[in-house]
Amino acid sequence: MEKKDGKRRDKALSRDQVISAAIAILNESGESGLTFRTLAQRLVTGPGAIYNHVRNKEDLLAAAADVMIQSALSVNRDELAPDAAIRAVALDVFDIIDAHPWVGTELSRAPWQPAMLLIFDRIGANLQALGVPDRAQFHAASTVTNFILGAAAQQAAAIRLHADGAQRATLLSAAARAAIHQDKRSSPFLQRMAGNLTEHDDREQFSAGIDMILRGIRG
């Protein structure tokens, strides 16, 4: 990968450049690929220089995730009906995490993260038109957001497992298979769902979850 622009030769290093370089590394190599040393190398500087532009690694990851979510939610959904708009926002988040799992991991690492608040806002913006009473809108938006965060973290973790596991593909991890096959009497529901667990489509499962919650928040 070449540097994106020529600004570096005159020694001007900016916060945006640092974050962009971090995103590039994260998208190429995942979370484990991003260290202050690899990042400094890409920016042709020393690791200490990065601290002039971000407070620490947590700050860097939060800023990177915010850029990704902003980009994923930049499509205008104003012409959609409120329930379709909420579904669209949720699926936009799902798709960016499916493509870049590190975003999903990061979303639930810090609370009150800009990226998380942006999702919360975009969901909430459609509740009035959906007919949700004013006093219920805060809980409704937080319910949808928490569902998205939980599903995002699971999806990110599942993809991470895929990535370095290679051949197991759609199979559950060994630990889960063990859990399913032990205790046949004490977990009848899990036994009954074993087929769905191994064969379901993650995106369809996510979409169905949003639909159920929408039915519920509508009252």
Residues engaged in binding a second copy (CB under 8 A): 62, 108-114, 116-118, 120-121, 124-125, 127, 137-143, 145-154, 157-158, 161, 172-173, 175-176, 179-180, 187-190, 193, 196-197, 200, 205, 208-209, 212-217, 219
The token duo for 77 is: 């959904």
Task: Return all residues near 184 (Cβ < 8 A) that are at least 6 apart.
Answer: 191
Runs of H (alpha helix) within the chain: 15-29, 36-42, 57-72, 82-99, 101-107, 114-124, 127-130, 134-165, 174-181, 188-199, 202-217
- Over the window 27 to 66, marking each residue x when it contacts DNA by CB under 7 A and - when it does not, the resulting string is -------xxxxx-----xxxxxx-xxx--xxx--------
- What residue type is 66 in one-letter code? D
Q: Is 102 in the site for DNA (CB under 7 A)?
A: no
**Which partner, DNA, a second copy, none, binds residue 57 by CB below 5 to 8 Å per kind?**
DNA
Q: How far is the CB of 6 from a second copy (least distance, A)?
A: 31
For 42, phi then psi, to 5°, come to -65, -30
The site for DNA (CB under 7 A) is made up of 11-13, 34-38, 44-49, 51-53, 56-58
